[in-house]
C-alpha cells in the first residue's frame, strides 16, 4: 500500500504502525512522488491526506479514477474538511478518516480496503480465465490444473488416441470437452457427453455410460474407427 503525508514524523509513525500489523507500506511525501507507482494493476490501497503541498489528495483521487479506478483511495482529513471528504466519497473515494485518529481506525479501514481490492483482482483474474474458455474450459491456478492444461494443449493438435479415465465427478467430461474444443474437431462442431472423439473424421459423438460405453470403447479402439475419450 501507499501512504502519502508531507509531515515526515507523522508519515513515519503511521507507516511503522501499519508495517507492524503486517502491511507492506511505502511512504511518500507528495502525490507527485506516489502517482508514478500507481496504475490499473497496482494491487494495494492508497492512503492520502487531502491537504498537501502541490497536488492534493483530491487531485490524486481524480488521477486514480482515470488510470486505476478500482484502486481504493482512503483520504485523511481535518475537521473543517468533512464536507469535502464526503463529496470525495461520492466521487469514488473508498473512505475517509478524520484526524486525529487512532492507529486502530487506520488499520481497520486499510484492512477492509485491501480485502475489497483483493476480491476485485481475483474477480478480474477469473474473468480472464473464463474469457479464455474457448481455449480451455478448465479454470484454476494450482500446479496440477496448470499441468492438465499443458497436457491438453500438447495433445489437442495431434491425431493421438486419448483415453480419459477417472472416478465419477473427477472432471473427465470437462477435459474431453476442452480437448475437443482445442483440437481440429472444433472446426466441424459436435456433441458432448461420454465422448468418442474421432480426429480423423473431426467428430465428437456422445455415447452411453456403463457397459455399453465400455463395449464401444473396446470395439472402437481395436477397430481404429474412433479415438476414445471417456469423460462421463
Residues 6+ apart with CB under 8 A from 70: 40, 117, 120
Q: Please determine, for residue 183, whether its predicted confidence score (pLDDT) is greater than 90.
A: no
Q: Please determine, for residue 127, whether its predicted confidence score (pLDDT) is greater than 90.
A: no
Are 6 and 52 in contact, with CB atoms under 8 Å apart?
Answer: yes
What domains are defined for the chain? 2-131 (3.40.50.2300), 135-229 (no CATH)
Beta-strand ranges (E) seen in 33-163 are 46-49, 73-77, 95-98
Question: How would you label 10-40 residue by residue, b for 16+ Cβ within 10 Å and e otherwise?
Answer: ebeebbebbeeeebebebbbbbeebbeebee
Residue 176, C-alpha cell as written in the block: 474431453
The whole-number average pLDDT for the span 122-148 is 72
Closest to 114 measured CA to CA, from 194, 18, 231 = 18
pTM: predicted TM-score of the whole model, two decimal places: 0.57
* φ and ψ at residue 209, rounded to 5 degrees: -90, 180
pLDDT band at 178 (very low <50, low <70, confident <90, very high): confident
Are 109 and 74 in contact, with CB atoms under 8 Å apart?
Answer: yes
The whole-number average pLDDT for the span 80-100 is 84
**Across 12-16, 56-60, 142-146, least confident range:** 142-146
State pLDDT tens for residues 103-125: 899 999 999 999 999 999 888 88
The whole-number average pLDDT for the span 73-96 is 84
pLDDT band at 19 (very low <50, low <70, confident <90, very high): very high
State pLDDT tens for residues 39-64: 888 899 999 999 898 999 999 999 99
Amino acid at each position: 500500500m501507499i501512504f502519502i503525508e508531507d509531515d515526515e514524523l507523522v508519515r513515519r509513525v503511521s507507516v511503522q504502525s501499519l508495517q507492524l500489523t503486517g502491511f507492506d507500506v511505502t511512504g511518500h511525501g507528495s502525490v507527485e512522488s506516489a502517482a508514478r507507482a500507481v496504475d490499473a494493476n497496482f494491487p494495494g490501497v492508497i492512503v492520502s491526506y487531502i491537504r498537501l503541498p502541490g497536488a492534493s489528495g483530491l487531485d490524486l483521487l481524480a488521477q486514480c479514477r482515470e488510470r486505476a479506478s478500482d484502486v481504493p483511495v482512503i483520504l485523511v482529513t481535518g475537521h473543517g474538511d468533512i464536507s469535502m471528504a464526503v463529496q470525495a466519497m461520492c466521487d469514488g473515494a473508498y473512505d475517509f478518516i478524520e484526524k486525529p485518529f487512532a492507529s486502530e481506525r487506520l488499520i481497520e479501514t486499510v484492512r477492509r480496503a485491501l480485502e475489497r481490492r483483493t476480491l476485485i483482482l481475483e474477480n478480474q483474474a477469473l474473468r480472464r480465465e473464463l474469457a479464455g474458455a474457448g481455449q480451455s474450459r478448465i479454470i484454476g491456478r494450482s500446479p496440477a490444473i496448470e499441468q492438465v492444461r499443458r497436457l491438453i494443449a500438447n495433445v489437442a493438435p495431434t491425431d493421438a488416441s486419448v483415453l480419459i479415465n477417472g472416478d465419477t465427478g473427477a472432471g473427465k467430461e470437462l477435459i474431453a470437452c476442452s480437448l475437443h474444443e482445442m483440437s481440429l474437431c472444433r472446426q466441424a462442431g459436435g456433441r458432448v457427453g461420454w465422448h468418442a472423439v474421432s480426429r480423423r473424421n473431426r467428430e465428437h459423438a456422445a455415447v452411453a455410460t456403463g457397459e455399453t460405453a465400455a463395449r464401444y470403447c473396446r470395439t472402437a479402439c481395436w477397430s481404429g474407427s474412433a479415438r476414445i475419450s471417456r469423460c462421463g
